[in-house]
A and B are shown apart, each in its own frame.
Chain A
Amino acid sequence: MPTIIINDEKIEFKEGMNVLQACELAGIEIPRFCYHDRLSIAGNCRMCLVEMENSPKPIASCAMPATDGMKIKTNSKIVKDARHGVMEFLLINHPLDCPICDQGGECDLQDQAMYYGFDKSSYKENKRAVNNKYMGPLISTIMTRCIHCTRCVRFSTEIAGVDDLGLLGRGEKAEITTYLEKAMNSELSGNVIDLCPVGALTNKPYEFQARPWELKKTETIDVFDAVGSNIRVDSIGKKVLRVLPRINEDINEEWINDKTRFAIDGLQKQRLDKCYIKENERFQETSWKKALDRIILQINKTSSKNIMTLSGKLSDVETIFSTKMLFDNIGSNNYECRIDNVRIEPKARVSYTFNTGIARIEESDLILLIGTNPRWEASILNARIRKSYLNNNTRVALIGNKKDLTYDYEYLGNSLKILEDILNEKNDFSLLMKESKKPMIILGEAALARQDGNCVLNVCRKMCEKFSIVDKNWNGFNFLNSSISKIGALDIGFYNESFSADVQKNIDKFCSNKESVVFLLGVDEIDMDIFQNSFVVYIGHHGDRGAHRADVILPAPAYTEKDSLYVNLEGRILQAHQCHAPLGDAKEEWKIMKMLGDMLGANMKFKNLHELRELICLSNELFREINVLHKNKFSTFGISGEIIESPIVDVINNFYMTDPISRSSKTMAECTSDILKLNKDALIPND
């Protein structure tokens, strides 16, 4: 291993590192603004200057490759003076508006000016002022503060894959902007706020809301898509003010999508904070006791065979498990999580998880996307595919609706028949599959939410076997799920085998013609007309479609208000933490189920969350390990049959509004009107 001498200390480093990284290995902090380890190197802020032996002047450590035997000094007078000088230049045009700047308290420039700068300026002239730019409803700009590090430009070009931001002009006249001040057209745009080392790009909805030191910070999990991004939620009292990403190299690196970051204002709107009973077609506020009594009355009136429960998009594992326990106890197995009619096979875990793992996408050399729009269904995962495409020359092909995925792909068509052709080597793509060392199939919900879903699954399995997509060290079969509740529910067994043939039709049949009781665990994405003859209990947190149809509404906490487990699309168990107490009278779903169970005389074998988690672990050992990617054994799945020639219909029509929380969010509504509609041709598929 090559060695470098930093401040007279020998340090071993890896080939290809730059001086800045080598200094970090030695435990020395180098101040920097433009350098970011996930972006390309720009070398334009000059803050990371260090002294190198035999060099007449200090060098930018981020842009200098470390070489064997190099001698670096980071604590000499030259370095100190260089940092003073750079700092003074950076501050020449930077306004002194820290007291009214949102970045204040967590500002790189502020911190580094304290450590490395000094208290005088020899600049007497006028400071420059720059007009603010419009960058959409999410990013607020105060461009006078910009120090031209170009992190935002590099992020949008490299990671987000949209060439929207640019540095126009030069020298003192340089300005960051989008072309003609259009909104930034990316689902990852919010990350430029985190990247900005000063307060030039800030969070628009969070503008002037709080100071960072007043916030309660809770590390938790995002639920808006099935990726399960690690996030930090900042709240004051019972209000969530902002969401920031947490680093998890296996899942989201350090990015989150805009829905995760900005849909939180929906948590304050349309909330169900009291129990309600519908009387004469009007909802009446009521107490927990009366509401539960009403439900018990109805359950006792109804045969247990006619009681059913459905789980929604955001349900956590505890909710689903305790509900299942209640239903098992009262002798009903009518529970179902597959209400979107996606024909996955609950028995083979390998058939409904993202087996390759998000991080290992980077190893793949060929990716076949089938009936999915990863950019909208899992934006973070799409960023990984793009990373692989850039760094690994991964070839990507798509069967489905044409759309801009931020990378080039080979378009095979919009018919699942093509899969059969590939399998039977009638398509040129078969050859690529054969030659590929680490191929991946990514199967979307849209490809399976059809009558012939099982056959599609079957053909994909055969492809895996034929083209050795699955072997000892590589499992290239992936199902891209879009809701965080689904895999957890399947792992627990929250499905009814007898519904499997056609879940939607069977639910329809179940509800028609007879009186039934239906529990909706935050279910809003289903045709509510089918419950005409049913008594509907809605347990959830938002007054969305499900709550409108309900006969009794029981308020439950949203994802930021409870401790819970989620299972992400890889089948990884993730633990979410409570940021603040539930709003109003809301109670955790498992407590509701416990109360109902006790009232019905059912044997609910837990008293608290800890005992409940223990029961969950006993039922499925997978839940013992948090944040671990399990290997699923490849087995037989799918039903042989003919694939129908019909186009694939995408599952998400509007990225910004997919669930009750984001539908109530004002920010997301603005995104829908500003970003989606303005840039229709770029984002909306089939256009």
Chain B
Amino acid sequence: MSRHPGLINKTEFPQPDNFSWTEENLRKIDKIIDKYPKKRIQSAVIPILDLAQKQNGGWLSQKAIEKVAKTLSMSIIRVMEVATFYSMFNLEPVGKNFVQICRTTPCWLRGSDKLTKIAKKFTKCELGQLSEDKLFTIVEVECLGACCNAPMVQINNDYYEDLNENILLKILEDLKNNKDVKSGSQIGRINSKPLKQC
């Protein structure tokens, strides 16, 4: 993304009018807060923001941030500081499939540039943009820690490893058509085992 979305605190896109916790998440919040000392419940801000982001379809709206602040009795600006510091929090709407392409050296050497190019072409949008059908947002990220199976991407909560342009294209197409996609290595590798026995 060209600039960090958190800095746009005057938003240029429609914001939902409200945000309220689901019953299930309220229970989860209690559990999360329980992990921290009673007078320091603000420590729970990152897991609670993450929960809010999940509930809100992958991004944090203004109201969601305000709600988190209220839940933890913090000031809104303190929550904003956290939400804008970490790139894992999105402050703009993202597609149903949030595709993070690893671009750090091992993946880059194994052709992550090509993956980015094909993904951009497929979704017809730039990095960080929401595709017109609202199904995809493509971003480049730094190392996701699966270098042995480079190149790889993360789509929502799953890793897709040992990719090449065709495999990624197939995955994206399947996602677009709502088909099931197998996560993990795409060439039958088990975990990070070497492919050939030496």
Q: B77 an interface residue at 8 Å Cβ cutoff?
A: yes
Q: Are B6 and A169 in contact (CB under 8 A)?
A: yes
CB contacts (< 8 Å) of A181 on chain B: these are 9-10
Chain A, 163-197, CB within 8 A of any chain B CB: 163-170, 173, 175, 177-181
Please choose the segment from B79-87, B101-109, B120-128 that sits at the chain A interface, where 4 or more of its residues have CB less than 8 A away. Answer: B79-87
CB contacts (< 8 Å) of A168 on chain B: these are 6-7, 9, 80-81, 84
Q: Are B85 and A178 in contact (CB under 8 A)?
A: no
CB contacts (< 8 Å) of B78 on chain A: these are 163, 166
Chain B, 1-20, CB within 8 A of any chain A CB: 3-4, 6-7, 9-10
CB contacts (< 8 Å) of B84 on chain A: these are 168-170
Closest to A178 in B: B77
Q: B148 an interface residue at 8 Å Cβ cutoff?
A: no
Min CB gap B143→A, angstroms: 17
Q: Are B77 and A173 in contact (CB under 8 A)?
A: no
CB contacts (< 8 Å) of B62 on chain A: these are 180
How many interface residues does B have (CB within 8 Å)? 16
Q: Are A163 and B4 in contact (CB under 8 A)?
A: no
Closest to A131 in B: B7
Contact with B along A179-220 (1 / 0, CB 8 A): 111000000000000000000000000000000000000000
From the candidates A167, A173, A179, name the one contacting B76 in the complex (CB within 8 A): A179
Q: Are A169 and B77 in contact (CB under 8 A)?
A: no
Q: Are B9 and A179 in contact (CB under 8 A)?
A: yes
Closest to A168 in B: B84
Rounded to whole angstroms, the CA-CA distance of A165 and B9 in the bound complex is 13
Q: Are B77 and A166 in contact (CB under 8 A)?
A: yes
Q: B75 an interface residue at 8 Å Cβ cutoff?
A: yes
Closest to B65 in A: A179
CB contacts (< 8 Å) of A177 on chain B: these are 9
CB contacts (< 8 Å) of A179 on chain B: these are 9, 75-77, 80
CB contacts (< 8 Å) of A167 on chain B: these are 81
Rounded to whole angstroms, the CA-CA distance of A452 and B75 in the bound complex is 41
Rounded to whole angstroms, the CA-CA distance of A167 and B81 in the bound complex is 6
Chain B, 63-79, CB within 8 A of any chain A CB: 74-78
Chain B, 106-149, CB within 8 A of any chain A CB: none
Rounded to whole angstroms, the CA-CA distance of A181 and B85 in the bound complex is 18
Say yes or no: A175-B77 contact (C-beta < 8 A), given A168-B84, A169-B85, A170-B84.
Answer: no
Closest to A165 in B: B77
Contact with B along A393-410 (1 / 0, CB 8 A): 000000000000000000
Min CB gap B15→A, angstroms: 11
Closest to A166 in B: B77
How many interface residues does A have (CB within 8 Å)? 15
Min CB gap A205→B, angstroms: 25
From the candidates A164, A175, A178, A180, name the one contacting B7 in the complex (CB within 8 A): A175
* Interface hub of A175, A179, A180 (most chain B Cβ within 10 A): A179
Rounded to whole angstroms, the CA-CA distance of A529 and B62 in the bound complex is 53
Rounded to whole angstroms, the CA-CA distance of A181 and B9 in the bound complex is 8
CB contacts (< 8 Å) of B3 on chain A: these are 173
Rounded to whole angstroms, the CA-CA distance of A169 and B76 in the bound complex is 14
CB contacts (< 8 Å) of B74 on chain A: these are 163
Contact with A along B85-105 (1 / 0, CB 8 A): 100000000000000000000
Q: Are A169 and B7 in contact (CB under 8 A)?
A: yes
Chain A, 129-175, CB within 8 A of any chain B CB: 163-170, 173, 175
From the candidates B7, B9, B10, B75, name the one contacting A173 in the complex (CB within 8 A): B7
Q: Are A170 and B9 in contact (CB under 8 A)?
A: no
Q: Are B81 and A166 in contact (CB under 8 A)?
A: yes
CB contacts (< 8 Å) of A178 on chain B: these are 77
Rounded to whole angstroms, the CA-CA distance of A177 and B78 in the bound complex is 11
CB contacts (< 8 Å) of B7 on chain A: these are 168-169, 173, 175
Min CB gap B75→A, angstroms: 3
Q: Are A173 and B80 in contact (CB under 8 A)?
A: no
CB contacts (< 8 Å) of A170 on chain B: these are 4, 84-85
Rounded to whole angstroms, the CA-CA distance of A167 and B77 in the bound complex is 8
Rounded to whole angstroms, the CA-CA distance of A222 and B4 in the bound complex is 45
Rounded to whole angstroms, the CA-CA distance of A173 and B76 in the bound complex is 20
Min CB gap B81→A, angstroms: 5
CB contacts (< 8 Å) of B77 on chain A: these are 163-166, 178-179
Q: Are B6 and A163 in contact (CB under 8 A)?
A: no
CB contacts (< 8 Å) of B76 on chain A: these are 179
CB contacts (< 8 Å) of B75 on chain A: these are 163-164, 179
Min CB gap B114→A, angstroms: 28
Rounded to whole angstroms, the CA-CA distance of A181 and B80 in the bound complex is 13
Rounded to whole angstroms, the CA-CA distance of A170 and B9 in the bound complex is 14
CB contacts (< 8 Å) of B10 on chain A: these are 180-181
CB contacts (< 8 Å) of A180 on chain B: these are 9-10, 62
A-B contact sample (19 more), CB < 8 A, given A168-B81, A169-B7, A179-B80: A163-B78, A166-B78, A166-B80, A168-B6, A168-B84, A169-B6, A169-B84, A170-B4, A170-B85, A173-B3, A173-B4, A173-B7, A175-B7, A179-B9, A179-B75, A179-B76, A179-B77, A180-B10, A181-B9
| A-B complex: 10 closest residue pairs judged by Cβ atoms | A163-B75, A166-B77, A168-B84, A179-B77, A166-B81, A179-B76, A169-B84, A170-B85, A169-B7, A173-B4
12 residue pairs bridging A and B, Cβ less than 8 Å apart:
A163-B74, A163-B77, A163-B78, A165-B77, A166-B78, A168-B7, A168-B84, A169-B84, A173-B3, A179-B9, A179-B77, A179-B80
